Structure 1
């Protein structure tokens, strides 16, 4: 989809980044060996967007309407053994608009081939490992088989067999094992083991971690009998400049960057996540809330999932839990996002049905739903609600969540949070909240204290929140176990929903109409290239993970200028005091700290001192001049407890290409940030240029910058920079050499490529 045209005629419009949508046809010719005869041959499609249809030799053998649900198809009946076969997959994406964000298109997640050992076999996703207790570790292992026979179960630590057991299966088998040598899995110590099952010549294995989850009004949310506060980030499924394609290296990098930003949990917004994400989160200790869908029976876009929901929601949820069950990182399920159906009696009943059904599929995890409290009230009054009659007027009159987002952009975050305190918001949410395990509040922090007192058994999750509320949430959560977590919108910037979280000026964004040329939301504590913004530093300080002080400055070259409006941006400050040509301009300086007081000095002279208020952000105003800007944090007695400084870059300018990894392997991704710096490596945000890139020993997959306005896209070999930065992503084939030049400056980087296992 990244290669399609972006035009004003695109029905997906701002939602999908103005990409036009089409149907896509994949054809694969292959030979089925005679040795496959008598065996079950299956294909797993982990994700096809969307309304996929699969044909083998002209016969339809399966498909799935939901673009985020994995599905299996069996090939046996129509295979030509020993001869040629034609496999065809059609992905329909011409039915625009069908999404509120960049969906990607076609086969964007892996496809796996499964071959059984014979007529009796272990079907995919047939092994489940459940932790019953931890002292010692007690496990329940259930196995589903096709055919009857004996099964052998082994628990492995690497290649070492720790425990084993046997049972007979008549289609289902259950074993109880006490595994004294196993250590629990936790975010701090993500210990993983393998369960290997053998059955009638067939073999399968799953990775698992031993951990327990509890949720109660007394204890809040606990993992392994210890309270855990979820410091969460909402993310969409795309991998930035790579689009929706599920590259394992890209997924792992995203999770790692979010952890470094201070988050211990991810919300998969607003669709089931990939298996790759779960595997990465298991290994790295990142917790996951897997979410089902963005709409139930009320449309948000004309051709969204509403038309399939009623027939498919049970199958979708069953498949989501089958995917997630053995992954210790998954600790919550969400049945939906900002579904105003929860304000209606029909929707309240459906909330309960979905919660109970998820418990039937997986009784080990709690269920929530992200409810926009103010939106529920507004929709019940007739504002912003989609109907079939409005479909043709959608372009002129935004509806559903787009209506709410537009209003929030104009009125600001404070208006949204104030609106959530209205009594009608309680009336229009309490029924649905009673039908879920944990109440999911989107932008409802101003209700927390009131509702915790009014509903003594209610557990509250900030299922979608503003960055600026992180410190306030964290202080409340320390003392209230029923406030279990917070998920900021968003952890990392994403494609689509263009401009919803951007603060841009006219030098980077010619117009604020969010028309073609705009590509990303601009909402992220980490930008689209992976660079942590000042909002990410604020988050680390707010969560007590960094003492600070951290120093950041709003762009000094735009004094008093208007920027594009957004409620999803706390600040556009960056960590720089290099604003060439801005001498004497007013400068807004932000200091993030939990200290009692902050002193600000410029070139050795004091320019301000303030007592910290109710937040961990202290704002100063001064005049820009080159030199050294220093923030000094002091305790209540005036003693210095920390300091940090920003220094103006030198007059010389270099172009640098600095790979994030010095070695790689064939088939791996190489991330190579590009920066304008001085000779000492200090970034110069005022430098801007058109950079051309050439790659040897690999393929340039993506090139671009983080500005939400990006007319170039990511598939060319030339890019603009944004605040002095850009990013290249290269798929390694051998030793990689990348050359970057802007007509004046040149940078070369080399990455050694070794075979897998030697890096």
Structure 2
């Protein structure tokens, strides 16, 4: 068993030979006999642990399922996180159902044609006797949506919003020690409740929180940078401590700042007197000499360790409570003169908007899935993410801290005015303050978070009611965090009786103005409203060149965020192109993927990403070839789309027919060479910036673009070569060794290759999958936006030569083998080790 799980597990009704809970509670002050190890030792304090395993699940509207004696023996047992909406629907003989996709889904194209409903989760567990004053709570990181929770039949509460964490105290309702407790959770994802795919169920982690009678309040800790220089930094730590209702207490608060090697670089301590049932906040400052400052280029993280000691004796090591928080020392400034600076250095936000789903996994927020999403953003040149349009998972932000990705943390997509009939607007008035507080208090210690966004495209933003809500939100945020700027994303195409300038009243209440699709207004609005700081909170992919020029040329424009950075489920087909000329968006079945991302659903680059590489200076030249355009038609691309281009010179059946080739470059002249013959030369025109378009007859072979500067020097080369027929399957795993933990994933790229190992870009082939050893198949599929299929069956059909298989460890050590075969192809096999 993985050692961390052995340290953190508690007894449940399903577990054998596990540690007792008493061994996990404020252990610095207790010496416990470990019967299973035959020795006595002091264990590290564990006050919070994952509570993801051994949940029972059933999708149904049931009466009485909240009661502890409800017969759930036939229910499915699973390990969280879990998203039932992506699971295959029954009735596969029905042509309207393909995997989880149902043509007549109530969610329609908005929710990717999946089916919601009501479902139940139940978890049995037992606890030993607890120390006096001990409390036990349950924290859900995210449940979509409208959840109710019971413990032993007692209703703990309802939480409507699907994207914010929430906690319930279990202590008063627990069964006697050794007797079974039952948690029950009802989740409702009903009707048309979002504009995108949300997932359904307990899709993020669940934690059991066990705090001693006098303890630190995790959300009451706030670490801020007061000063950040090369020679010296000052950080301030506000720490909230709460006491037992039974009596006053004295504790010693110790704060240690440790560098990445564990060396203590700053220290403070202070006695704390806590009145019965009271909460006390202690504020201390630490000075760090020669600090390593956090920045996107060098995301250095310290660790702030906060301890409550049982005694005021500094030399006594008995620890009553302890928390550790990763800490980045950085100072952010935003103004219209210099734009955005981090530690005094100007930063331009190379941003992308990102939905919360994880592609083939649906909304299930596995740690590895959240990490990989951020890693892909970093690898493809982004340095900033706008969480659209809701708070992300905590693991997502931890990864942004680690990799140096800046975050605009967004709260809501709607306020009181609905965007869909069953969306969050129904709960907003009663819940917005609690949900906003939940987001701010959880996320404010992350150095990656640089701004708070209070909303996206809010219809009532400039009404008197909307302005009142804005003022209330700004006031509430300032009360919790006055160190970050506040923004909102606003557009000008809602059906309202006012014009864009009417939002001046809204922007006047904010620190930074978020412009959706309005890059042409930047300079005009700065003249109208001097001092306004702006950024492109959403821009169309095709507008990148012009929008980025504004960022580079106007100091008050701090960045640009494309819609969208990655493909996502739902808003089906908004990024499509068509040859019919009818309409601007194909949003009907079988489309289920938005298809507007720089990165496709399985993590590969799409054509707009190659253009972005040139605009951002990551590449001197890129070349794309348009798929054959039917005769007599003209392509029409949606506003969020991109022409149907691919980096390929494999076009069987097109011999002698003209192919459209586009070359992106910052050079002055482009020369095309086909099979050692110069076929065309063009100069880059100001009318088509960074782009040269050629139409040349197709001949199989090798197409090369040579790029030259104004002096005739060659500054870049790009080559596309004809791929030979498919011969084999190539498997590439992101990791070949993982921890034996049921939350662990392995992503395996599945490529169809020719005899030279090159991907065959026109290979759309069915493949069979088998997994053996200590893992199961979590998901498999391709990036195809209009090829609905099961993501959970042991099969996939590649799209443009590529697919993806995702393996999930089962928690046991040993070998994992993935084998994939296809007709006429050499079978591929890859081994992974879980340990």
TM-score, normalised via structure 2 length: 0.81
For 1:740 and 1:664, locate their aligned partners in 2 and report how far apart those are by CA, in whole Å.
21
Deviation at 1:565, TM superposition (A): 4.9
Q: Which residue of 2 aligns with 1:160?
A: 263
The equivalent position to 2:611 in structure 1, one of 523, 528, 538, is 538
Residues 1:566 and 2:638 are matched in the alignment: yes
Q: Which residue of 2 aligns with 1:32?
A: 127
Q: Which residue of 1 aligns with 2:286?
A: 177
Q: Which residue of 2 aligns with 1:477?
A: 551
SS in 2 for 1:16: coil
Pairs within 5 Å for 1:335-414: 335-375=454-494, 379-381=495-497
Residues 1:495 and 2:579 are matched in the alignment: no
* C-alpha spacing 1:352/1:493, structure 2 compared with 1 (3 Å): same
Pairs within 5 Å for 1:448-467: 448-467=522-541
Pairs within 5 Å for 1:43-442: 43-116=138-211, 118-135=212-229, 136-147=232-243, 148=249, 149-157=251-259, 158-169=261-272, 170=274, 171-199=280-308, 200=310, 201-375=320-494, 379-381=495-497, 425-442=499-516
Pairs within 5 Å for 1:623-638: 623-638=697-712
Deviation at 1:126, TM superposition (A): 2.7
For 2:736 and 2:577, locate their aligned partners in 1 and report how far apart those are by CA, in whole Å.
35
Deviation at 1:210, TM superposition (A): 0.4
**5+ residue gaps, structure 2:** 1-84, 90-100, 244-248, 275-279, 311-319
Q: Which residue of 2 aligns with 1:19?
A: 114
* C-alpha spacing 1:516/1:219, structure 2 compared with 1 (3 Å): same
**5+ residue gaps, structure 1:** 382-423, 507-511
Deviation at 1:48, TM superposition (A): 0.5
The equivalent position to 2:767 in structure 1, one of 686, 691, 697, is 691
Q: Which residue of 1 aligns with 2:745?
A: 669
Alignment check: 8 A CA contact 1:37 1:81 kept: no
Residues 576-610 of structure 1: CA deviation (Å, up to 9, x unaligned):
11112221232111212111222222222222222
For 1:440 and 1:531, locate their aligned partners in 2 and report how far apart those are by CA, in whole Å.
28
Alignment check: 8 A CA contact 2:457 2:490 kept: yes
SS in 1 for 2:329: coil
Q: Which residue of 2 aligns with 1:600?
A: 672
Higher mean displacement: 480-489 or 356-365: 356-365
SS in 2 for 1:600: strand
Alignment check: 8 A CA contact 2:485 2:511 kept: yes
* C-alpha spacing 1:303/1:36, structure 2 compared with 1 (3 Å): farther
Alignment check: 8 A CA contact 1:470 1:543 kept: no
Alignment check: 8 A CA contact 1:579 1:685 kept: no
Deviation at 1:89, TM superposition (A): 3.6
For 2:701 and 2:258, locate their aligned partners in 1 and report how far apart those are by CA, in whole Å.
59
* C-alpha spacing 1:259/1:311, structure 2 compared with 1 (3 Å): same
SS in 1 for 2:398: helix
Residues 1:707 and 2:784 are matched in the alignment: yes
SS in 1 for 2:225: strand
* C-alpha spacing 1:3/1:754, structure 2 compared with 1 (3 Å): closer
* C-alpha spacing 1:280/1:558, structure 2 compared with 1 (3 Å): farther
* C-alpha spacing 1:562/1:17, structure 2 compared with 1 (3 Å): farther
SS in 1 for 2:227: strand
Deviation at 1:289, TM superposition (A): 0.7
Alignment check: 8 A CA contact 2:607 2:642 kept: no
Deviation at 1:669, TM superposition (A): 1.5
TM-score, normalised via structure 1 length: 0.89
Residues 671-712 of structure 1: CA deviation (Å, up to 9, x unaligned):
112222211122222222211111112211111111111221
Q: Which residue of 1 aligns with 2:720?
A: 646
Residues 399-457 of structure 1: CA deviation (Å, up to 9, x unaligned):
xxxxxxxxxxxxxxxxxxxxxxxxx6333321111111111100001111211222211
Alignment check: 8 A CA contact 2:103 2:590 kept: no
Deviation at 1:557, TM superposition (A): 7.2
Q: Which residue of 2 aligns with 1:730?
A: 807
Alignment check: 8 A CA contact 1:352 1:432 kept: no
Alignment check: 8 A CA contact 1:220 1:483 kept: yes
Alignment check: 8 A CA contact 1:4 1:20 kept: no
Residues 1:577 and 2:649 are matched in the alignment: yes
Deviation at 1:290, TM superposition (A): 0.7
Alignment check: 8 A CA contact 2:149 2:156 kept: yes
Deviation at 1:652, TM superposition (A): 5.4
Higher helix share: 1
SS in 1 for 2:213: coil
For 2:807 and 2:634, locate their aligned partners in 1 and report how far apart those are by CA, in whole Å.
37
Deviation at 1:104, TM superposition (A): 0.6
Deviation at 1:474, TM superposition (A): 2.4
Higher mean displacement: 663-672 or 640-649: 663-672
Alignment check: 8 A CA contact 1:54 1:87 kept: no
The equivalent position to 2:682 in structure 1, one of 607, 610, 618, is 610
Alignment check: 8 A CA contact 1:138 1:179 kept: yes
Residues 637-660 of structure 1: CA deviation (Å, up to 9, x unaligned):
222111111111124533322323
Deviation at 1:254, TM superposition (A): 1.2
SS in 2 for 1:679: coil
Alignment check: 8 A CA contact 1:238 1:245 kept: yes
For 2:463 and 2:658, locate their aligned partners in 1 and report how far apart those are by CA, in whole Å.
51
Alignment check: 8 A CA contact 1:234 1:491 kept: yes
For 2:349 and 2:386, locate their aligned partners in 1 and report how far apart those are by CA, in whole Å.
10
SS in 2 for 1:132: strand
For 1:504 and 1:288, locate their aligned partners in 2 and report how far apart those are by CA, in whole Å.
34
Q: Which residue of 2 aligns with 1:524?
A: 597
Residues 1:681 and 2:790 are matched in the alignment: no
SS in 2 for 1:107: coil
SS in 2 for 1:49: coil
Residues 194-229 of structure 1: CA deviation (Å, up to 9, x unaligned):
111111411111111001111112221111121111
Deviation at 1:308, TM superposition (A): 0.8
SS in 2 for 1:15: coil
**Superposition RMSD in Å:** 1.9
* C-alpha spacing 1:505/1:167, structure 2 compared with 1 (3 Å): farther
Alignment check: 8 A CA contact 1:46 1:274 kept: yes
Alignment length, in residue pairs?
703
For 1:559 and 1:113, locate their aligned partners in 2 and report how far apart those are by CA, in whole Å.
63
For 1:637 and 1:484, locate their aligned partners in 2 and report how far apart those are by CA, in whole Å.
34
SS in 2 for 1:317: helix
Deviation at 1:743, TM superposition (A): 2.4
For 1:520 and 1:601, locate their aligned partners in 2 and report how far apart those are by CA, in whole Å.
37
Q: Which residue of 2 aligns with 1:405?
A: none
SS in 2 for 1:93: strand
Deviation at 1:94, TM superposition (A): 4.1
Residues 52-99 of structure 1: CA deviation (Å, up to 9, x unaligned):
111111111234111101011111111123133433343433421111
SS in 2 for 1:313: helix
For 1:145 and 1:262, locate their aligned partners in 2 and report how far apart those are by CA, in whole Å.
42
Alignment check: 8 A CA contact 1:56 1:85 kept: no
For 1:84 and 1:299, locate their aligned partners in 2 and report how far apart those are by CA, in whole Å.
46
SS in 1 for 2:733: coil
Alignment check: 8 A CA contact 1:737 1:751 kept: yes
SS in 2 for 1:450: helix
SS in 2 for 1:48: coil
For 1:334 and 1:676, locate their aligned partners in 2 and report how far apart those are by CA, in whole Å.
43
Higher mean displacement: 239-248 or 687-696: 687-696
